[in-house]
Structures are given as structure tokens and as C-alpha cells.
Structure 1
Amino acid sequence: MTGNIDCTHWKWKNCPVAWKGQYASGHHGSPPFVLEVVASQDLWIWYAFFGVMGSNNDVNVLDQLPISDDLLNGKALDVPFTVNGNEYKYGYYLTDGIYLQYSTFVKAFRHTFEERDNFFKGREEGARKGVERAFGVLKAKWHIVEHVVGPLDLETLRYIMYACIIMHNMVVEDK
């Protein structure tokens, strides 16, 4: 497995009032940011995309990621592995049900009828908790993203988020 891919949303509580209409969508109180990452079970974040929510959601954020361009162009990571005697050339990402059907995305079974499917679903859901834990740690440690004050442009906010992710990975590596 290359990692877990998932999306989370952050509310920008201190967004300048003049900018709220520009960054908010109708059903959100505060303008949200979207963060999509590939994380492993040890909470290491391998890849991240950070931007303003606006019209973005979990599916169309994927269209903006360079990682999806690589998948569509056949440039997936060369991570050979063997399962049940079958050799595979490329690694795969564990995803939830909202992601599109790509050969490198593995989703849990919705309806399981056999014991082995139940076993696989349980193991996959356990492995997917890594990305949710990574989001939880990021949100708990780095409140600056949520409470950033002042009229910062999106590029500066993106640098702040990526700096928080780098520091997060440094803490994970140190442990």
C-alpha cells in the first residue's frame, strides 16, 4: 500500500469579513479550507494539497492534484508487490467510497457476504484510520491554520499549512 488518501475541511474562523463572500460557499458558516493528503499508518504525511474550499469537494479536489495527473498518465509509483501469486507493478491507495474508480484506489466492500471479505474490510478500515488520525493530530497541534488572523493571501496560507505538515512529520520521525 502506498498510503491512505482522504480529504478534510478546516474552518477559517478569523477570515476577514470582506473576504468571506469570496471564499465561503452557501452552506458553510465560516470559509473552509480543504486539505487532501496521502498518509501512512504511522501518521507520516507523504503528499498534501491545501486550498480554499469554495466549489471544491472531495471529488473535484482530486482533479487538481498532480498525483491524479500521474495516475491518469500511467505514472503511478513503481511499487511491485505480490498477492496470492499475482504480481502487481504499481502501489495502491486506500480510499473511502467517494473517490472515483481508479485501478490504484482500493475501497472497502460495501456489502460483504463471505468471511474473507469481512476480514479484508476490517483490515482495510483499520489501516484507513491512519489518515484520520493524521488529520486529528494536525488539527489538535496546529491551531494556527484555523485561527490565522489578517488578510493573508492563499499562497501564504498554503505555506503555513505545508510548514505545519513538515513540522508534523518531524515530530513523527522523532518518535
Structure 2
Amino acid sequence: MNNLTKAIFNGNFDESLLSDDAIIMMQLFAPQQQRIQTLSLNQPTIRVGSISGHRYINCVRVKGDEQIYRDYFADNPVYPEEYFRRRFRMRRSLFVSILHDIQQVNEYFIQSRDATGAFGLTGVQEITAALWILQYGVPADAVDKYIRSDESAAISALNFFTRSIVATYEAVYLRSLNEANIARLLQEGEQCGFLGMSSLFVELTRERAPTANYTINNHAYTMGYYLVDGIYPCWAMIMKTISQHQGTKRQLFARMHEAFRKDVERAFGVLQARFNILRVPVRGWSDEDLYYIMKMCIILHNMIIEDERDIPENKRSVAQLQIDTSNTRCQVSRDSNEEYAQFVLNRQRIRFIEAHNAICNDLIAQLWSRAGE
């Protein structure tokens, strides 16, 4: 135990002399270092499973916590910072910040004792198990040897982690597009010949998405679209390539469409490279779990990118977020509702095939006109 850790245990250290990250890290990991000094792991324990007939395996969770602490979080860890970043796909300071933040919103990540008085998993063990499942795409029971966590605990850690990340950071790292974002996307799309690519369906049907006003082939449009491949339906917001293109105009459209669509596919490939769970089969996860896994991957990716650009800490402080945690019950009404009627009309407008054909023809003409210039 070094002098700084002893000072923290004795309560006589000066926080003004330490960085914020050092203070947070010491506060989070001082109990683990103290327990290493006091607990004896050689004492035999006699327990039975909570369900009659089930075999109980004492995986000695404290050992897993101590191993992770010595390897990555001690004052002189076995593996230096660059090893941590390579294996956890983020810097250690960001990991500690995330741990501190989600412990404020979810008590699941605060270590507690079970009914027998034994220590449960620490927040570090739970987050590490979740991250390794997400980043390496391994089965939940594959983290048992190092984390000392069984399969059900690893799955629970993953589910709580994904939901806590979304609840804590979504307002900043996965917010809806604003007018400035729409204008920038329209400008970028125009440079590639596809003016009008826009935001998500749900926001449009609820009339919460910013308007996208643009003109193609002298025709005005107010609703953006997505470039997709041939498996999608012919909706007004979906612009597919032409599989059996005849004529030079349609050949040009298909070639530029497929080239620009690859940029989006490459972006998703970057996400898959960071989170291998997006590459492996997902039949074992429910639709709700997949929803939160996908959202969390995007949020965490954005956080890592921002952290590695050395953005000041105070600009991404969770304390600045205003998250609505109210749990109001839904009021069901069967009366005529103007808002719902508008929702139905917007949904029909998105699925309008004639609008899809019109914008497709205008794009073909626009691209051909630009190629002639």
C-alpha cells in the first residue's frame, strides 16, 4: 500500500492536490485494495444452492475483483495504460468515469452482500463482463474464468449496463437531429448528388423531426429519404438502387447510388469492428435487448471518439443532463384523437409508392443533368 492510498484510508489527504480522475479512481478502488489486505481467501465455506438439488460452485468472486484490480487499476498495475485501451477499447479514465456515472443512477453496480453475507460482484467486474461480451462477442459463460461470474450474472450485467448507458448518456450522445444537423446533411448529400437524405421514421410520423426542404429536378420536397438496397419496400422515404437498369441515365443512378451507400456500410463496419457482438448470431437475445445493445454501441462509440479527441470533461458531464425519470402510467383513450389521425396520415405519406417513384425519377434526371455539366 503506497502513501497516497494510506492517506485515503486515514482520511488525511488533500483533494486539491489530486486530479479529478485520481480522486474518483481512489474512491472507487480503495475498498478493493483495503480488502486485499484484510480478507483471507483460504477459509473454507460451506454453502448450498438456493434451489434444492442444484449444485453450488463457489467461484470466489473476490479473487476475480482482486485480479482485475491488480492488472489494471492498482497504483502500479501489471498492464500499463496502452494495454488497457487495447483490451477495453477505451481509455481507463473513461471507464472510471462511466463506472462513477452509472453507479449514481443504478445501484446494481454498487457492490453488496448476498443472503449468506458473501460479497457480490463489484461494479468493475460487472462492467468488464458486459464490455467483453459486447466487444468480443463471446458467450456469457466465457467470462467466468477471469471475471469469476456465472452465466446468469454476466447476462444480467449486460442488460443492466446497456440500459444504464442509454438512460445516462442518450440525451447527449444519441440526441435527435436539429435544424443545423439537417442542413449539414443536406449539404453533404448534395455534394454527392443525393440531396435530401434525412432522419428516422418515428420522428417524422410524430412530427418531431426537423423539416428537410430541398429541390430536385425543379420539384420541391419536404421529406428526406434513405439510400438502401433492394430488399426494402418502395416507400417515399426509401430510395433503392435499380437492379435491372436499362439506359445510361439509370446506369449512372445505380452506380452513384451504390457508391454512396457504401459510405454508410463502412460506418457500420467501424461499429462492428469495435463491438463484435454486432457480427455474431443474435437469436439468444430478445428484441428489447437488441434495441438497447444497438443503442448502447452507438452511444459508447461516440463517447470513445469524443474522449480520444481530448474534449474537456466539463462539456460531457452527466450532471448537466436533465433526464426525465418519472414513471407515469399511460392513459388509454378510445375517443377520436387529432394527433393520432395525423400520425396515421404521416405514416401513409411515408409509405406512398407514387412519391417514391417521383423522387426516384427526379434523382435520375438530376444526376444525369449534373453529369452532363
Query: TM-score w.r.t. structure 1 length?
Result: 0.49
Q: Which has the larger share of helix?
A: 2
The higher-RCO structure (CA 8 Å, 6+ apart) is 1
Larger Rg: 2
TM-score by length of 2: 0.26
